[in-house]
Chain A
């Protein structure tokens, strides 16, 4: 059933968020600590378990996959609700701090990313796995 996938996703999200809240309280931080990340780990674990038990039905895949496919539209909606005016009108200090942070961010990332051995790109990974996979990733 499709709802099984949606419900599984909802349960993982709720439990992860709760754990993140508890972690925040335990660490005396006024924020959720890694709730979404914990939820993701739960969902990955659930998928591995269902796969092994032979219960990873098409309905479950559809229920989760639909929301994963809606991810980009949701990000666009998120972008449309940012306080862009404040970011633009925040004055020179905001501009300097924001721009320098991102610049430094990419420089440091570039150094780390280029230092290691060249990694297999997403395209190469997919080309290799294409034979094993029947269903592709839905393109929006």
Chain B
């Protein structure tokens, strides 16, 4: 019986994923309407259900890919993987208004720089507070606070230990998860309701999964603007973290 489900998961992976996610979406919108009276957007609830299922999957299997580690739901990994995610993000650009995008060009670039340096400092300080003193570990932890891709890329480049790299990924993942959940709640307070703000938000926050998930739950029409700047974040982080930022951290730690 279990064998049959496992086989179905392999043969019909993506189809099972479509059906599974469809059911989550069907459940989410009534939940949004009747439980939160529309205050929490349906897609935000769907994302939270997704995260909860990822936790269940991770606890059940001890794997790293959440629900996708359960053989029957393996297709969810394909549906939510980088290939289709990037494909769908690019598709949203079809709705981008060129005039709006141009207006936020310079401030988007400034946001990108701020959004790389600030989280890096927080990560380094957290590392210091918890007893890390070597430049390699501190830089890797700081890079993890930028995004969960910048962390391991930087750690590998400068030769950090495996546990530190794992911690840097965990920091980045937690950041993405919190951003997904908090963005729709905080959005009205910080005026995250227009294309320009979304582009600044994407540049500052970086993490593509966090930004795209958070904006999707806030207002789907803002997604392309936020993603446009967020997509440069990881690349920029991978550029400066193992080079300039590592150099600066080493300068500070030399006295130790």
Contacts and interface: CB of A to CB of B under 8 A. Distances in A.
Contacts of B136: none
A130 interface: no
Nearest to B154: A30
A95 B145 CA distance: 11
Interface in B1-52: 17-18, 21-22, 24-25, 43, 46-51
A65 B88 CA distance: 9
Contacts of A73: 18, 21-22, 25, 79
B134 interface: no
A70 interface: yes
B93 A122 contact: no
Nearest to B219: A122
A72 B150 CA distance: 24
B245 interface: no
Contacts of A33: 232, 235-236, 238-239
A31 B190 contact: no
Contacts, number: 330
Interface of A is mostly: helix
A96 B201 CA distance: 22
B54 A82 contact: yes
Contacts of A127: none
A18 interface: no
A69 to B, nearest CB: 8
Interface in A121-140: 121-123, 125-126, 137, 139-140
Contact of A122 (B49, B73, B195): B195
A109 B200 contact: yes
B141 A97 contact: yes
B249 interface: no
Contact of B197 (A76, A83, A99, A119): A119
Interface residues of B, number: 116
Interface of B is mostly: helix
Given A12-B90, A13-B90, A44-B98, A79 B174 contact: no
Contacts of A67: 87-88, 91
Q: Which residue, of B24, B80, B213, has the highest number of chain A Cβ atoms within 10 A?
A: B80
A86 B54 contact: no
A1 interface: no
Interface in A30-86: 30-37, 39-41, 43-44, 47-48, 61, 64-65, 67-68, 70-86
A80 B95 CA distance: 27
Nearest to A120: B194
A13 B55 contact: no
A121 to B, nearest CB: 4
Contacts of B64: 83, 86
A44 to B, nearest CB: 5
Contacts of B89: 36, 40, 71
Contact of B47 (A23, A75, A83): A75
B192 interface: yes
Given A93-B126, A113-B197, A102 B208 contact: no
B248 interface: no
- Give the top 7 A-B pairs by smallest Cβ distance, nearest first: A77-B80, A33-B235, A98-B174, A79-B50, A85-B58, A90-B170, A40-B93
25 contacts: A13-B87, A33-B239, A34-B232, A34-B235, A37-B232, A43-B94, A44-B96, A44-B98, A67-B91, A72-B216, A73-B79, A76-B46, A76-B80, A78-B80, A79-B213, A80-B57, A88-B55, A90-B174, A91-B167, A93-B130, A94-B174, A95-B174, A97-B126, A97-B141, A112-B111
